[in-house]
Chains A and B, each alone.
Chain A
Amino acid sequence: MRLDILIPILVMAAVTYALRFLPLMFLRNPIRNPFVHSFLTYVPYVTLALLIFPAVVNATGSIYSGWASLIISVVLAWKGVAMPIVGTIAWFTVIVIEMILI
């Protein structure tokens, strides 16, 4: 195990645990400020969206397979397909397209 990987992993674990623990320990009321509540509701979607695109297009061997699996994943997710299945189909899409291209 490499320290330069282990340390960020433990930092992630520490901040994630803090988010779970600190309110449970110290807050006695639900969050009622509409802005704070709305911010916390929306922020995961925005951050994940930013992490996905445009990086996803360059995640594979060619941008064609990247775009194709992006579009297929969006359609499947829109139809409510479960997360591991979306992942598996996207993976299969890349394999097929890259077999055709290369």
Chain B
Amino acid sequence: MARGLSQADRTAFRQGMIDGLPLLFAYITASFTFGLAAVKMGLSATEATVMAATNNASAGQLAGLTAIVAGASLLEVALTTIVVNSRYILMSCALTQKIDQSMSTPKRMLLAWSITDEIFGLDIRRKGKLNPYYNYGAMLVVLTGWAFGTLAGAVLGQLLPTRILNAFGIMLYAMLLAVIIPGAKMNKVIFGLVAASWASHYAFQNLPILKEIPTSVVVIILSVAITAIGAYFFPVPMEDADVAADVERGAPEDPLSRHHGHEHHGHRLHGHEYYGHEHHGHGQRGNEHSSDTQNHTGGQT
């Protein structure tokens, strides 16, 4: 495979690894605490590490884990994971706009493996077409850290005394709160949806008849119902769709406007609690502030 790499591919791969390094700390600390929490929830160190290495999605893993330990069926586990991780659909769609349309299927398959919130955040800051080797380099660094961090947390978790370990059950929920609360703070609709979710779930747990429904089913039903109501009455503004459309038509050829289009396009399609701050250094402040308040998908790893 190495023979087929062009100089540009090598450069992109190396740059991806370099850009992935600053993310490594966040990945290791988050996966370390995930490992601790997973052991507390009843997984072995091996199982926790396999989950991390095959899923590469913190909120999705935490959600799936809660479903598994709650004894949910396979279908319920799958549905829960899909709803929590559905933002990857948006990121994957956005990447199709940034890659060479002739990219081979194996390259696309490997590129898909690299889609996480943070690596996607790196991608949208790249100007012009995205060389997939950039992502391969970045994911080699951060996903390795993700798996080993989980293993370290899980092994340590198994060595700790029960009393200390029991309290780790709270960690999973606290980390999930750290995922959703910043979004609720920045966006009134998300704030309202979170409040509605909590109120309705509390009602479902305490009202007669409704409390007979298993929690895993309630979560899926309420997810779809509350989100559908929110999306219908408070759609995410899409006023910059025109810019994205221009990019697709290939209209603006000069690099500046194309750069602008891509940036804009990226912003329209994804949230950025994690990388929003770094964006502010890149100019286009006005645009970013207006989209900051409107767009966020989950800020999970």
* A residues lining the B interface (CB < 8 Å): 1-2, 5-13, 15-17, 19-25, 27-32, 34-56, 59-61, 65-66, 69-70, 73-74, 76-78, 80-84, 86-95, 98
Contacts and interface: CB of A to CB of B under 8 A. Distances in A.
A16 B295 CA distance: 22
Contacts of A8: 64, 67-68, 74, 77
A69 B170 contact: yes
Interface in B162-193: 163-164, 166-185, 189-190, 193
A12 B105 contact: no
Contacts, number: 316
B167 A98 contact: yes
Contacts of A17: 112-113
Contacts of A36: 231
B170 A19 contact: no
Contact of A46 (B30, B175, B193, B297): B193
B252 interface: no
Nearest to A24: B92
16 contacts: A17-B112, A23-B96, A24-B95, A24-B112, A40-B89, A43-B224, A44-B87, A47-B84, A48-B180, A50-B197, A50-B219, A50-B223, A77-B178, A78-B185, A86-B178, A87-B171
B90 A12 contact: no
Of the four ranges (under 10, 10 to 19, 20 to 34, 35 or more), the interface on chain B belongs to 35 or more
Contact of B74 (A11, A16, A38, A83): A11
With most chain B CB atoms within 10 A of its CB, the pick from A10, A49, A54 is A49
B77 A12 contact: yes
B83 A44 contact: yes
A5 B47 contact: yes
B78 A6 contact: no
A52 B171 CA distance: 11
B81 A12 contact: yes
A27 B64 CA distance: 27
Nearest to B277: A80
Given A8-B74, A25-B105, A59-B169, 13 more contacts: A12-B78, A19-B85, A23-B92, A24-B95, A35-B232, A38-B235, A39-B231, A41-B231, A51-B176, A61-B167, A77-B182, A84-B33, A87-B174
Given A44-B87, A77-B177, A49 B30 contact: no
A86 B33 CA distance: 10
A83 B49 CA distance: 19
